[in-house]
Amino acid sequence: MRDVAIVGIGLTRFGERWEHGLRELMAEAGVKALTDARIESKDVEIVYGSTMASGRFAGQEHVAALLADQMGLKNVPAVRIENACASGGSALRQGYLAVAGGIHDIVVVGGVEKMTDVTTAEATTALGGAGDQEWELAQGITFPGLYALMAKRHMHEYGTTEEQLASVAVKNHENASKNKYAQFRKKITIDDVLKSRVVSDPLKVFDCSPISDGAAVVVLAPLEKARQYNDTPITIAASSQASDTLRLAEREKLTEVKAAQIAASGAYRTAKVSPKDINLAEVHDCFTIAEIMAMEDLGFFEKGKAAKAIFEGETALNSRLSVNTSGGLKGCGHPVGATGIKQAVEVVMQLRGEAGERQVSNAEVGLTHNVGGSGATAVVHIMKRSN
């Protein structure tokens, strides 16, 4: 297996991008990534494109070929990866494996979603397909409802409070206020969260990630060749993935995502690091309870202790562990097919020292955690500054 590096990154602003369609978002992020990597289209050997529901949201299937087309990559093989909200992380893993295994040298991995061209009801139905359609969606439960069940159980078992849930949103909006790519750049308070409309008790509007448009692209290369393309390549030290039951009712516990625990364990082992070695983490905060559970599943805090730690500021920027410096899904936005790639872009920016106001001091090791559905898929990557 060869060492793999990220040599190029590209990102669009996330949000309600009425002025741009799916192809424009792809082109913007893709051209930025190729330019950042200082490569020409003829160098690219394969494209992995991720999207969850482009057909439902934008009427466009065959997205990987469109991504290659918009980037000027004629005749380059292109493959679409769909793994619900973990589509981006899964695509990154496929690109990583292709380079690590020596099959390809230069690989483009891109993610995109254009979600705002449909009604909220239509978007909710499309997103519901990330769960068990027959046993969950058809019975009337939504994704806020599934995560509300997890939140209620976490509150029951560990005494987690609504104020602690709200503190996740407050922290991530604070970080997003420093990020020019973020959908929400306005700071909020715990009171703002608690007074926002209830979506599914105990989750309120400000506990939930938004419907977003956006795209993100990275370029991968073997580490030994990486400096031909970029002066500050970032090594992917580990890529790990695991699955669990699609239906929430069949999980061992409602207060954990077992797939995330397994994926994290594999990533730490491969990268030869432990949770205490991680300087920053981009985790999948589709709902505030999801970030709390992620902090525990990834081994950063003991079970039942993360909510209090976040409330007390232990995961704020340049604290014990800087979490969701981009603003996360909650503040930066959540165009589902792009999210896992955006997480990688943020970590690369941090490890390069290019994150501006939200820069993590002495950032050396970063982690991304991308979850599909209510936890049926989890992908964890660990990245390091290259020597």
- SS3 (DSSP) at 287: strand
- Return the active site residues: 85, 334
CB–CB of 371/386 below 8 Å? Answer: no
DSSP 8-state symbol, 85: B
Strands 234-243 and 280-282: unpaired
Residue 264, burial from CB neighbour count under 10 angstroms (0-12, 13-18, 19+): buried
**Count of all residues that appear for the chain in the document:** 387
Strands 365-372 and 377-385: antiparallel
Question: Which residue intervals of the chain are DSSP H helices?
Answer: 22-37, 54-58, 63-70, 87-100, 120-128, 143-158, 162-176, 190-195, 258-271, 288-297, 306-311, 328-332, 336-352
Distance CA 346, CA 285 (A): 15
Rounded to 5, what percent of the chain is helix, strand, coil? 45, 20, 35
Contacts with 133 (C-beta within 8 Å, 6 or more apart), sequence order: none
Distance CA 123, CA 118 (A): 6
Distance CA 306, CA 167 (A): 11
